[in-house]
Each structure stands twice: as C-alpha cells, then as structure tokens.
Structure 1
C-alpha cells in the first residue's frame, strides 16, 4: 500500500503519480461495459484461480537499522506477535522466471535487508532493482531461475460489478484470499496526483500491500496498494494499481532503475460533472478535462501563464480528453519539448504553448545486504532477571535487551522472555549458552518466547544458506505478521 497519510486517519498507504497507461473516459468505459457479452458461466471459481496464482505469490519481510519502522499508514494497535523490532511486512508476486518480483515501493523504502519467502518454503535475500514512489511500485530481484510466474491480465478494462480477489498475508496469514467486486474503475483518490486506481470492496489489511488482485479468469489485474479508512483498518474501500500501469513502471525500473516523467509544474484534479458548470462548461464534459488547482513558482506552467482555475481540455489537439489521457500525454513528453494545451479560461477557449521539464527521478536504492551477518547468540543481547515476582514487575527469567541479525529477522524484540531452546528449558544465560553450544549454522533453532500473555515457538532459520527453507511453527493462538 507510498508512504504518507494524506489526511489524519484516512489513507493507509498512499500512491500518487502521473499514470503511464491510457484510460478511457467514464462514459466510454460504461458503454464498453454495457456492450460486453454475458459470461458463459455465472459461477466464479476463485478456488482454481487462487491455486494457479498461489505458487507465484511471495511474502516479504524488511529489516532496517534502528527501531521499528511502521509499514506505511499502519496505525492499528500491535498484537503480541505482529511485528519484530525493525521489521516491516508486505506481499509481492513473481513476474519473471529469473527472479523479478513486483511489490509496493512503500513496503521496501529504507530497507537494510529484504527477505522473500516463496510458496515452496524457500527464503531468498532480495535486492531492489528500482522503486518508484509516485506510483508506489518496486521491482525486486532474487538469485533464482525457473520460478513460477503470475498470469497477467488488463486492469484498465475492469468494469464496476466484476468479481475480483486479492491474495496476500494480512496480519501474517500467508496466501490468504479475500474476494469482492470492482466498485469503480478508474477512481481518483482525493489528494493524489492523477493515478487512476481500481476501487474494490475486497478486504485488504496490513500485509496485503504489494500482493496481486486477480479477476474471475485468474489473471492478475492489479497490485494491491491501499485502503481508505478512518481508523487504519479495513472499512470496505480498497484500491489497487492497474497491472498495466505497474508493469510499465516495472519495465522502466528494470531498464534504467527509475522512471522518467515529463511535467509542467501544474497541480490538477479531475473535472467533475458537479464542478464543470461553475467554470462555464456543460455537465456532460464533467468526465473530461483537468482542473488546475496550483501552479508551481518558476515552473514551465508559470512561465506559460497557467493559473489556478484553468481547465486543461486537451494536449496537442482540440478534442477533449479524459483526465488520465491528459496526464499520460504530459508524462510521456520529453524534457525540453513544447506541448500545446487547449485551455478553458473565463468561459473561453485558448491554446497555450508550455515547455516540458522532467520529474526528479527517485534515487536508485542501494541493494539490500544479506539479512544475516556474523553474530553471537543469533544477534540477541540477553539479560536475566532474578528475584521474586512482584506487583507490576516481570517474572524472573531471561529477557531480550536488544536484537539484530537472525533474531531480528525472526521477529524477536526488546522485552521478549526466552523459555526454551528447542525442547530444552532455559532460565538464565548459562542455560541458553549450553543449549546453543552444539548448534551449527546449517541448523534451524526453535526459541520458545513469551510476549505479554502469549507464548510461541519462533524459528531461527539456518544462518549459512541464503536459500534456506522456512521452518513452520505452531503457537498457542499467537498471531505472526506478514
């Protein structure tokens, strides 16, 4: 799901960008939806679709230096096993057999290391090929070949009322499927910068960011990005980036490591049927045009004389264009070129020539380093508390003081109490050191951890292999995060 909340408690993970794929006007899309033939079968077989897509869906865990980094917009209260200190969680899907993975940019922003968990229980360290915060798309790469890939569809062609489903790891429940219908397509989010999104009522929660949205045919049509919510949880309004747009961004990230976009320095919003009459335009034109709300100082738009209240009707022609098409034309223009804008100002049309600048591309992120380095006690700094149990005091035992490396990747954090190593109980440092004395770097170790009122075995994965299988763990009802 970009990384800033647009208004307090509203946007869980924001995306804002000049869209790179064409969209039709609302009227032409409605007409094409009416002209669609009746489907051969009214049954929606998401079971088969999910089975086809599941092998190519991955869980993503991010660690970074310092304290805990919340995943974008994640304002919900933490449950005992939700998050590790310095970790963030998301989903993704494989788009190339040679190890290229698509996910949300906000999920990997500031990463020190990125770990990918595949459906066949393998874990890979990943590097960031490129990330585009404006569209909230990131392309990752793992050292593997012959991987399963998703089947891609066309998100821009979805019609309201069509059934869709999402797959991801909400609250740590990997490859969970939630279904619903398309509510609107395209939909522009207030406070955004012109990205047409797919609005659905599919349940998305923290951990779904970057996962796939697929249609009734089992084709991926979107990249799950954000929810609209007053409190940080799912409230029935979710948004996905059309896969057409996401793949165009990914292609540029793969080629150059960043995305080039033309811009003129004018901030706009879609002209609506309600707003059109206020500017002397017919309500029928409400699905077309871009309303200028701000012009940046010293920008090409300012030099050309554009002002707030202008309505851009078309770029390079006289036929009125949809808001997305206007954004596309500007974004596709090359730096240093000039474009002709058909403007509506004071109830009269005029043409303005505007120069094109180029958006500052995102800095190419440095590759994530290996998740685990040389370490002692799996990266745990431990302290033992002695003495009797008192009011408001933790019970005697072995407690985590700080965490890094393998333990950080596993999700341990300050304040956790260690009870056992595998099936050997530990009460102090001597017990712990004795229990791990024969552990090899190729061994998986299970630590029994108490956090609050919950206890759970947490796997410390083999330290010697970057492609280590993931050890599954049982718990007494504790929740682990995606």
Structure 2
C-alpha cells in the first residue's frame, strides 16, 4: 500500500497497474454455481443481516503503528528521533464468546498498544495472541465473556455474482456498511504465496481492514484485507481472506501463538489460457514458477523459473488452486513429488519441505509506564514558541513518549484543556491532572493545525482485569 503492490487496509499506499492479475481459477466454480438454487430473498437487502452482524463487529484503535492519528490536521511533524508514532484504526469481529477477535495482521504490526471498542460502547485493552503475516491474520483477546459471535459459512461455496456486504470503520467511522458483489472466488495474486482471496467490488477504505465480509444471509464468508488502487483509496477492486483460511490460522494461533508451516521456496502464478501456448501446453493447468529462492529446497531440487508444476503426488493434473493447497498443507520435513513440465517435456522432481519461520507476536505495553511525568509529555509554554507562527499563547508539545506517544500526541500539538478545565500554563496543566483520580481516564483537548479533538489518556492506576491464559 511501491509500484505494483497491494494496498492493505489501514495503511495508505500507491500501487501501479498490474498486468499479471489474470485469473485462472477465478471462475473455477462455474459448474457448481450454475447448479445453485436462488434463495428467493431480496439479494440487495442487507438490513436484517447487517443488524444481526453489528454486535459482533469491533472497532480497533492501534497506537504505535506509525500511522497518523484521528486528528489529521495540516501540521506535519518534524523528522526527529522518537517522533512519528501515531494511531491507526482497524476493524475486527468476535468469533469466540470468551473474547477472541480476528483482525488483519498488517493493521496491528508495530503496535505498542491495542484498544478494542465493542458495539455496546465498552472499551478494552487487547492482548495480541499471535499474528501470521502470510495470510494477514492477527488474533486478539480481550477480558470479556458471553460475547456475541459471528455465524460462519463456507467461503469456498461463494459464487461470482453473489451479493456480499462488509462492516467496518473506514476512516474511523464505526459500523459502516457497504455492499457489492463477488467478482471472483478464488483469486490468486502474483507474489501472494498462493493465498486464495475473494475479489469483490465492495467499497473498502483505510479502517475497514479486519472487518467481516458476509453473505446475504448474514453469515461471515471472509475477512476484509486489501484493495487494489492507484490512489490509496477505494478504486472498485477489493479483496477479502476466505473465512475458512482465517479460522484455520486463528485456531493454530489460539493454541500455540504461532503458525508453523512448510515451504519449498518457489514463487508461482496461475498458468492462464493466454500463457499456456507459450510453454507448449494446451490447457491452463498447474502453477507457473516465476522465481526460486536461493538455497531453498526448490533450488536444491533443481526447480527453475519457467517450469510448470502440473501436479503434486499421484494425481495426473491439478488446477493452480489444488497445487497451492497441496504444497501449503505439506508438513515440514516431508518430501513432495512434483510433476513438472519443462522445455515442452514432462519430468518428475523430488523436493523437500522446509519449515517456515513463524511470526512472533510482540508483547504490548498495555498500561501507563510507572513514574511517568505528565504522561511522557515535554511541554513548552509560550506564543508560537515552536516556530509554527501560532498566534495564541498556550502549551505546546515539544516531545512525546510513553502514554502520550501511544495516545497519538506529537511535536507541535497544542494542549487546550484537561477534561473540561482550560489550561494555558504548565501550572494549570499540573493542577488539572493532580485533581483527577489516578484510576480515572483523562481526556486532553488537543489542537493540531486548525483541528481540535479530545484524546483519551488511560488511568495511571489501572482498574482493568488482566487476561489469564
């Protein structure tokens, strides 16, 4: 979200046109989809489905990702050591009553603290149980019980043309509903490590990442993950991770805290009908190797760019999806028999399966740091004292660390009030925070550029219950 990259959810980035996004397997379900019986419901009416799903969708605020925070504003921070840590927004959904939540891994990568707001306006500090960057899945847990959970459907049965809808928090606007149709299922992206995706035209924007994609019956079929765009915003092509894949990853993260899988070190793309004749093949089957990693099992086995893996094991031919699934499900330490097409002739290659290094979830800083002075704020008092030409006297942030940094405050912010008490001098600020019990949340009214917004600072002496394993 570099040229030719996908925009993942809350991270804004620019991508170029990708000519290789051609979709072998995109219409692989045509036969079964032709046999589908119409449900007899108004496909475009998601009112009841959205109402049922809303309680299970959560809004996630992430401190420490490097993303800009809610205020935005027109005052850029200077390039200084220790500056630039901000706040980001994402979405998620509850899938177990004891507080387990799914969201996108890219949305919480680099987080110092994660806060989850439920539909009934309760807010919790979240534990990051585990992440898997390959599938872009993160598992969170909050200290709550008897929560509503999502109903799950098989995403493999989702057909192109079916109506689907998403709930999320684009740009921080919580519980927003957008709808569209399935464009392709599955869709494999070049360089995507063989991860199947659901392509839709549902409008996703920064903050939508991690929210549920559900069908017309209100069942979750995917987790919203990325968009394809030339501007960083919605451009008509969105992608969601199939819920079948997300749940498999979540189960492993819940049990072990990490995902262990094998790999052979070969990057592939679908062999399309347009490409097949160039390699002397009549049918668009198998996986076309585009890169072999150095010192990988694939390189040791002699696999090379331009090979077409037609099948794995004792099957004659496979679709691209079947090849990907077979390799991805292989256990580390095992060996695979690959039926390969090279230089217009068949051959057999034996390749070992090596273990992939799992992603390790960092420990989050859930509580304010002990002994913090002014929540980690270094303040200066004056009239435009930071050189921004500000005309009003007041308090300005010189530097932010600890709780203040995780809350999104940064160099140049002006402090206007603590809760409902106006402050313009250091003495005012110190007196205001001293009058508030350490077990209470504090709200700082902050001005960034021409924009004002209250920012919460968590209790200095937390009353929240720690999560138990």
TM range, normalised to the smaller chain?
Answer: 0.7 to 0.9
Moved more, 422-431 or 128-137: 422-431
Separation in 2 of the partners of 1:226 and 1:194?
A: 16
Separation in 2 of the partners of 1:328 and 1:345?
A: 22
Q: How does 1:314-353 map to 2 (within 5 A)?
A: 314-353=311-350
Q: CA deviation at 1:391?
A: 9.1
1:421 counterpart (396, 403, 418): 418
2:149 maps to what in 1? 149
Report the CA distance shift for 1:450/1:26 in structure 2 as closer, same or farther (over 3 A): closer
SS in structure 2 opposite 1:281? coil
Separation in 1 of the partners of 2:228 and 2:270?
A: 19
Report the CA distance shift for 1:268/1:376 in structure 2 as closer, same or farther (over 3 A): same
Answer yes or no: is 1:298 the counterpart of 2:303.
no
Q: Is the 8 A contact 1:159 1:182 kept in 2?
A: yes
2:202 maps to what in 1? 202
Q: How does 1:169-180 map to 2 (within 5 A)?
A: 169-180=169-180
Q: CA deviation at 1:227?
A: 0.8
Separation in 2 of the partners of 1:127 and 1:301?
A: 37
2:132 maps to what in 1? 132
SS in structure 2 opposite 1:370? coil
Q: How does 1:18-417 map to 2 (within 5 A)?
A: 25-26=25-26, 28-64=28-64, 69-70=66-67, 78-79=72-73, 85-282=85-282, 285-286=283-284, 288-362=285-359, 364-374=360-370, 375-386=372-383, 392-417=389-414
Q: CA deviation at 1:82?
A: 12
Q: CA deviation at 1:371?
A: 3.6
TM-score by length of 2: 0.87
Q: CA-to-partner distance for each residue in 1:133-184, whole Å, 9 max, x for gaps?
A: 1111111122222122111112222111111111111111111111111111
Q: CA deviation at 1:422?
A: 3.1
Q: Is the 8 A contact 1:105 1:132 kept in 2?
A: yes
Q: CA deviation at 1:433?
A: 2.2
Q: Is the 8 A contact 2:439 2:463 kept in 1?
A: no
Report the CA distance shift for 1:215/1:463 in structure 2 as closer, same or farther (over 3 A): farther
2:430 counterpart (418, 425, 433): 433
Q: Is the 8 A contact 2:260 2:356 kept in 1?
A: yes
Q: CA deviation at 1:81?
A: 11
Report the CA distance shift for 1:371/1:232 in structure 2 as closer, same or farther (over 3 A): farther
Q: Is the 8 A contact 2:383 2:390 kept in 1?
A: no
2:15 maps to what in 1? none
Moved more, 316-325 or 245-254: 316-325
Separation in 2 of the partners of 1:387 and 1:365?
A: 42
Q: Is the 8 A contact 1:82 1:172 kept in 2?
A: no
Higher RCO (CA < 8 A, seq sep 6+): 1
Moved more, 49-58 or 346-355: 346-355
2:6 maps to what in 1? 11
2:19 maps to what in 1? none
Answer yes or no: is 1:455 the counterpart of 2:442.
no
Report the CA distance shift for 1:387/1:167 in structure 2 as closer, same or farther (over 3 A): closer
Separation in 2 of the partners of 1:162 and 1:228?
A: 20
Report the CA distance shift for 1:405/1:31 in structure 2 as closer, same or farther (over 3 A): same
Q: Is the 8 A contact 1:441 1:462 kept in 2?
A: yes
Q: Is the 8 A contact 1:164 1:214 kept in 2?
A: yes
Q: Is the 8 A contact 1:123 1:466 kept in 2?
A: no
Q: CA deviation at 1:28?
A: 4.4
Separation in 1 of the partners of 2:63 and 2:159?
A: 38
Q: Is the 8 A contact 1:371 1:409 kept in 2?
A: no
Q: CA deviation at 1:93?
A: 1.1
Report the CA distance shift for 1:369/1:435 in structure 2 as closer, same or farther (over 3 A): closer
> Could you list the runs of 5+ residues in structure 2 that have no partner in the other structure?
12-23, 78-83
Q: Is the 8 A contact 1:9 1:232 kept in 2?
A: no
Report the CA distance shift for 1:193/1:466 in structure 2 as closer, same or farther (over 3 A): farther
Report the CA distance shift for 1:164/1:82 in structure 2 as closer, same or farther (over 3 A): farther
| Root-mean-square deviation over aligned CA pairs | 2.9
Corresponding pairs, count: 445
Separation in 1 of the partners of 2:25 and 2:387?
A: 68
TM-score by length of 1: 0.85
Q: Is the 8 A contact 2:190 2:268 kept in 1?
A: no
Report the CA distance shift for 1:388/1:80 in structure 2 as closer, same or farther (over 3 A): closer
Separation in 1 of the partners of 2:331 and 2:76?
A: 46
Q: CA-to-partner distance for each residue in 1:12-32, whole Å, 9 max, x for gaps?
A: 1299xxxxxxxx955540111
SS in structure 2 opposite 1:269? strand
Q: CA-to-partner distance for each residue in 1:215-240, whole Å, 9 max, x for gaps?
A: 11111111111111112111111111
Q: Is the 8 A contact 2:164 2:181 kept in 1?
A: yes
Separation in 2 of the partners of 1:196 and 1:407?
A: 40
